Amino acid sequence: MSVANEVCQAIWPWVEEQGFRPWEGRSAFMRKRQDGFHALLISVSPYPEEWWVEVQVGIRLDLVEESAFQFTQGLQDFHPYSLTAHVPLHVLSGSAYKRFICPPNDWATLRQEVEPALHEHAWPFFEKYSQLLALENAYNSDPRSACFLHANRFYRCFRGMVLAKATHQRQMATLGQIYADELNRHGAPEQLQVQFQQFGALLIQTSFN
């Protein structure tokens, strides 16, 4: 068994009560929802003297991913698992330290490090950003600045447009032009910029009921 799998096995009892189950084939946990799923993603760097454990949280909203993913040049096999929001736990906590550190196989220390962060930051994150309006505001309130919910500036534009359309919170043509300008300013491939224009035109004609 890999060290990452050992760590996940140790963490499972702490997250099971929140409805999470092991994500088969991954060092991760998933909590299925009617509109998508929540994810806890675990990565481990094992060193002889200590283990570095990183935790990331993710939210998938099927409405957003099924609309946007086909235009983002993502691998089609990954489509069912793409995430609308994907954030390292240390970003939510404001910590300068990106990882939790514990001695090898010291599950008590690992729990002491990780479990409070889940309660203080991960569970509130899931509760807040599972709401369309909260996601839309985080994506689109300042479309010219980076969005902490999605590190890829290019693909953020597609998801932001879907969220705006689904919530009726923005003037679509104005937002679309801002994002088109941002794609150009940040050097997006020409093909992706063309796809975004096509996507925006299609989205304006789409109705989410």
pLDDT in tens, 104-133: 999 999 999 899 999 999 999 999 999 999
The pLDDT value recorded for residue 204 is 80
Closest listed residue to residue 81, CA positions, set 105, 94, 65, 57: 65
Q: What per-residue confidence (pLDDT) applies to 79?
A: 65
User: What are the start-end ranges of the H helices in the chain?
Assistant: 3-16, 62-68, 89-93, 107-117, 123-129, 132-140, 153-167, 172-185, 190-204
Check residue 170 and report its DSSP letter.
Answer: S
Phi, psi of 144 (to 5 degrees): -90, -5
Provide the whole-model pTM: 0.91
- Over residues 45-88, the pLDDT tens digits come to 999 999 999 999 999 999 999 888 777 665 454 567 889 999 99
Question: SS3 sequence, 36-68?
Answer: EEEEEEEEEEECCCCEEEEEEEEEEEHHHHHHH
- Of residues 70 and 150, more confidence is placed in 150
> Are residues 139 and 147 in contact, defined by beta-carbon separation less than 8 angstroms?
yes
The percent of residues above 70 in pLDDT, for the chain, comes to 94
CA distances 20 to 68, 83, 118, Å, are: 26, 16, 12
d(CA 41, CA 85): 12
Dist CA 110 CA 103 (whole Å)? 8
**Tokens coding 10:** 């140790």
Task: Spell out the residues 6+ positions from residue 114 whose beta carbon is closer than 8 angstroms to its own.
Answer: 11, 14, 53, 55, 100
What's the CA gap between 73 and 54, in Å, rounded?
Answer: 27
The pLDDT assigned to 58 comes to 97
